[in-house]
Amino acid sequence: MPGPTLILPRYVVPVRPRGQVLEDYGVLIAGSRIEAVLPEREARTAINDGPVVELPDHVLMPGLINMHTHSPMTLLRGYADDLDLKHWLHDHIWPVEARHADAEFVADGTRLAVAEMIRSGTTCFNDNYFFPNEMAGVARDAGMRARIGLPLLDQATRWAGDFDEYLDKGLAVVKEFAGEALIDFALAPHAPYSVSDSGLEHIAKVSASRGLRVHLHCLETRFDIEHSLHAHGVGPLERLERHGLLNAHLIAVHMTQLDERDIDRLAQSGTHVVHCPQSNLKLASGICPAPALLKAGVNVSVGTDGAASNNNLDLLEEARFAALLAKGASEDATALDALQAFDMMTINGAIALGMEEHIGSIEVGKQADLCAMNLAAPQTQPVHNLFSQIVYAASSAQFTDVWVAGKRVMMAGELETLDEAALLANADEWRVRLRRPAKQREVVL
Amino acid sequence: MPGPTLILPRYVVPVRPRGQVLEDYGVLIAGSRIEAVLPEREARTAINDGPVVELPDHVLMPGLINMHTHSPMTLLRGYADDLDLKHWLHDHIWPVEARHADAEFVADGTRLAVAEMIRSGTTCFNDNYFFPNEMAGVARDAGMRARIGLPLLDQATRWAGDFDEYLDKGLAVVKEFAGEALIDFALAPHAPYSVSDSGLEHIAKVSASRGLRVHLHCLETRFDIEHSLHAHGVGPLERLERHGLLNAHLIAVHMTQLDERDIDRLAQSGTHVVHCPQSNLKLASGICPAPALLKAGVNVSVGTDGAASNNNLDLLEEARFAALLAKGASEDATALDALQAFDMMTINGAIALGMEEHIGSIEVGKQADLCAMNLAAPQTQPVHNLFSQIVYAASSAQFTDVWVAGKRVMMAGELETLDEAALLANADEWRVRLRRPAKQREVVL
């Protein structure tokens, strides 16, 4: 275990207590944990002649938590745009995935995604894609914290042929990575419309018996309701409830089609909601009523969605969209403020993951998952209000240093655990590779 | 006049012809102008042993045009947030401006704004604030192109006491800066509700006789309509029409309250519309129907608004919001695509300014107003579609080099005409200065 390190930023935003800004404080980390948060002088005494990271222009905050993404889809960034969800999926994304989304694609795309997320201050991501073993391996090797979804659906893909195989292969991956400090897993059924009733029941049982979260696309568009009413005679939320899935283990993503009764139901069941405003706008899916959910007591966090629908993994930008869209959509400029947006990209994600004892805020004993932003840039001066500056004005390019479980994965703007030049060259190879077969022997996408 | 320089990026996006991407082309600039756009080999022959700027990972595009801002308000960034427009203006912004918005405030705030805009790829801005002489001087000295608004309203401020004085002082500024290559002016009445009928008539006459554009906040919120109906018996557009202002000289900003008849009226009159999506969302003002306007043939460009309501001057982010919000608000993912967003941040602004012969695209004979973005970053790889990558994925922090009228004002990420460290220190002094009086001798804001 490495000895203690002192980080000395200009400001610390611990997130808990809410709204607190500490000026000229130090954060002492030892091993994977936060050992102390002290005024500068005391902190310097405590570290004695140990290592000090001086960040005189920076704000130190908890690492951001990206609550919904499909990491490997970075390789499909910009592959098909300006289309609605149905055509985008059926005519472009699914066909190219069917041809190319193998283990190598998943590993390479995840590596690119992890680089992008670390650069933009993210220290933990909640993912859902095929080949979860590849994703888990890449995240572990890069020193990134991840909750990897085990994909579950009825349709065959390159990863598995039917629901039972998805589940068996997924649980084998859980076993393979048992004991890894940074990696754990969730059950990740694709969506209510792509999983049968018996599948849902099975998932509810496994979730309860193994204490696994359920990470699910839900009510992304009106289609979800229409399909459920047609096929099952009830809406998706009622169907999930029937099968024992509407509870505090459920992380329901998108949720753009909600009425007041749905919101009550989510609040009472303790279901967690993940808001992906950019993806929902770009695909014209609808707008998640984040202010009403928060008011009702629902835990709402933010996710970027995959890079093919966003088109980046910049969680700060997502929090900004969440705040501004909430104000515009509800015609109330006070609907969702900078402090709430801050919670949504940090502690609320930790709560949804069931990890609020370990991550999401800078508190003694928690994991040292931290990111530092350099405020010495025109767009973040003067600092009248630190929360406003970060949520409404800063660029994620201002993150310079990132720690995960006490390990510095970005130092002064350079990635420490990934070879960025190699990643970018590899991405360019995929650009060529993903295009070529379509021209030569298949329908042009 | 400096000798010719060759810029050799990986890609050139000239904007005109629309959708064109040139790979391995060079742009030759001489003096203030673009002299040639040639394939790399021919370009190298043409420059002979003259200077070559090699940008192997970059896309070169026309400099962005910020069509609405209040530059000096950078000093009020984050000063008051999460409030509706009325309380924000009346209880916070106007009182602090009344105390502090003097010539020094305007010069210092504009300098900070120009630094931020150059860094984010902007080469021309259309402004509206008090002390236009100070703004013009700062822009000229920094080598930045600007259309400076001459403020016109009935209410007294530190700049002028009544409408006639505003106009006289404004026209004196026009005279003072006559012959400056980068600086020109527009008439900038604050809003229909803050200028009398006789004022509007006067503005129409001066606009026609001197060929000056009119830069006007219009229909920002429902209040504008209510006020106009109450005070004048007609809506704002009809009132502007009556006074001879609804024409191709008018640059109408915000325009969130429009019905179909209004849209027709704007199209037929040739009025230019500036869309400020982030400001309108943040202040819950409403949503400008950009897709419907574009469809009707109205020229729509984008502006950031001032940093107190946005909170940055990042025009690329504004174009991204414009595209995504259009899709979400109209429930149509094809409503406004990446190419249209690209036009809105470049050529459409040039058209609104009446400068489309000079700026807004990379064409031979036009001014060399250029910006280069480094695509070698995780969030912009792989490059399946360059327009998508820029509009939906890139960060404005990826701009590394900027030229205005052939002069390189940013080189490899360093500002060439401004002392950035001094600017940031000065901004921090204003943070203290703007706060102190409120605590000591005035009402707390």
Residue B330's domain is classified under what CATH number? Answer: 3.20.20.140
Give residue-wise pLDDT tens across range A309-353: 999 999 999 999 999 999 999 999 999 999 999 999 999 999 999
Give residue-wise pLDDT tens across range B27-53: 999 999 999 999 999 999 999 999 999
Give residue-wise pLDDT tens across range A365-424: 999 999 999 999 999 999 999 999 999 999 999 999 999 999 999 999 999 999 999 999
Residue B319 has pLDDT above 90, yes or no: yes
User: How many Cβ atoms are within 10 Å of B415's Cβ, its own excluded?
Assistant: 18
Q: How far is residue A83's CA from residue A99's CA, in Å, rounded to a whole number?
A: 21
For residue B48, is the peptide bond before it cis, meaning its omega torsion is within 30 degrees of 0? Answer: no
Comparing alpha-carbon positions, the chain B residue that sits nearest to A423 is B378
Comparing alpha-carbon positions, the chain B residue that sits nearest to A376 is B424
pLDDT of residue B442: 38
Comparing alpha-carbon positions, the chain B residue that sits nearest to A418 is B378
Q: What type of residue sits at position A364?
A: V
If 0-12 CB within 10 Å is exposed, 13-18 middle and 19+ buried, where does residue A54 land? Answer: exposed
A437 band by pLDDT with thresholds 50, 70 and 90: low
Q: Which residues contact A111 (CB under 8 A, 6 or more apart)?
A: A138, A142, A418, A423, A426
- Identify whether residues B170 and B231 lie together within a single domain: yes
A445 band by pLDDT with thresholds 50, 70 and 90: very low
- Identify whether residues A46 and A70 lie together within a single domain: no
Rounded mean pLDDT of chain B?
A: 96
Give domain status of residue A419, yes or no.
Answer: no
Which two structure tokens, joined as six digits, stand for A304? Answer: 């970027």
Nearest to B337 among A82, A330, A428 (CB): A82
Residue B439 has pLDDT above 60, yes or no: no
Beta bridge partners of A374: A58
Give domain status of residue B418, yes or no.
Answer: no
Rounded mean pLDDT of chain A?
A: 96
Residue pair B245/B239 in contact (Cβ under 8 Å)? The answer is no
Average pLDDT value for residue range A252-263? 97
Which two structure tokens, joined as six digits, stand for B251? Answer: 């640059």
- The CA angle B382-B383-B389, to the nearest 5 degrees, is 110
- Identify whether residues A137 and A234 lie together within a single domain: yes
- Identify whether residues A38 and A70 lie together within a single domain: no
Give residue-wise pLDDT tens across range B335-382: 999 999 999 999 999 999 999 999 999 999 999 999 999 999 999 999
Q: Looking at B304, B320, B353, which one is the last position of a domain? A: B353
The verdict on a CB contact (< 8 Å) between B284 and A115 is no
Average pLDDT value for residue range A93-101? 92
Residue pair B339/B353 in contact (Cβ under 8 Å)? The answer is no
Comparing alpha-carbon positions, the chain A residue that sits nearest to B310 is A392
Model pTM above 0.90: yes
pLDDT of residue B318: 98
Residue pair A129/A106 in contact (Cβ under 8 Å)? The answer is yes
Residue A399's domain is classified under what CATH number? Answer: 2.30.40.10
A290 band by pLDDT with thresholds 50, 70 and 90: very high
Contacts of B388 in chain A (CB under 8 A): 77-78, 81-82, 311
Q: What share of chain A is helix, strand, coil (3-state, %, to 5)?
A: 45, 20, 35
Question: What is the percentage of chain A residues whose pLDDT exceeds 70?
Answer: 97
Give domain status of residue A424, yes or no.
Answer: no
How far apart are the CA of A304 and the nearest CA of chain B, in angstroms?
Answer: 12
- Identify whether residues B215 and B271 lie together within a single domain: yes
pLDDT of residue A335: 97
Residue pair A362/A35 in contact (Cβ under 8 Å)? The answer is no
- Identify whether residues A267 and A388 lie together within a single domain: no
Give domain status of residue A421, yes or no.
Answer: no
For residue A39, is the peptide bond before it cis, meaning its omega torsion is within 30 degrees of 0? Answer: no
Rg (Cα) of chain B, in Å, rounded?
21
pLDDT of residue A440: 40
Average pLDDT value for residue range B16-37? 97
Which ipTM was obtained for this model?
0.96
For residue B351, the 8-state DSSP code is: H
Average pLDDT value for residue range A275-295? 97
Least confident of A429-438, B327-336, B374-383: A429-438
For residue B348, is the peptide bond before it cis, meaning its omega torsion is within 30 degrees of 0? Answer: no
Contacts of B377 in chain A (CB under 8 A): 119, 424
Q: How far is residue B2's CA from residue A339's CA, in Å, rounded to a whole number?
A: 51
How far apart are the CA of A184 and the nearest CA of chain B, in angstroms?
Answer: 25
Give domain status of residue A432, yes or no.
Answer: no
Which two structure tokens, joined as six digits, stand for A126? Answer: 């909640």
What is the signed CA dihedral for B385, B389, B390, B396, rounded to 10 degrees? -160
Nearest to A388 among B119, B311, B325 (CB): B311
- Identify whether residues A136 and A40 lie together within a single domain: no
- Identify whether residues A158 and A220 lie together within a single domain: yes
- Identify whether residues A70 and A213 lie together within a single domain: yes
Residue A2 has pLDDT above 80, yes or no: no
B84 band by pLDDT with thresholds 50, 70 and 90: confident
- Identify whether residues B97 and B15 lie together within a single domain: no
Residue A438 has pLDDT above 90, yes or no: no
Give domain status of residue A177, yes or no.
Answer: yes
Residue pair A120/A313 in contact (Cβ under 8 Å)? The answer is yes
- Identify whether residues B180 and B195 lie together within a single domain: yes
- Identify whether residues A123 and A247 lie together within a single domain: yes
Beta bridge partners of B272: B251
Give domain status of residue B271, yes or no.
Answer: yes
Q: Looking at B353, B383, B401, which one is the last position of a domain? A: B353
Give domain status of residue B425, yes or no.
Answer: no
pLDDT of residue B2: 64
Residue pair A121/A415 in contact (Cβ under 8 Å)? The answer is no
A435 band by pLDDT with thresholds 50, 70 and 90: confident
Which of A82, A320, A321 to mutate: most B Cβ within 10 Å?
A: A82
Range of the domain at A51: 5-62+363-412
B1 band by pLDDT with thresholds 50, 70 and 90: low
Cα distance between the two ends of chain A: 51
Residue pair A123/A145 in contact (Cβ under 8 Å)? The answer is yes
What is the signed CA dihedral for A115, A121, A124, A126, rounded to 10 degrees? -80
Give residue-wise pLDDT tens across range A185-226: 999 999 999 999 999 999 999 999 999 999 999 999 999 999
Number of domains comprising chain B: 2
Q: How far is residue A313's CA from residue A319's CA, in Å, rounded to a whole number?
A: 12
Residue pair B210/B249 in contact (Cβ under 8 Å)? The answer is no
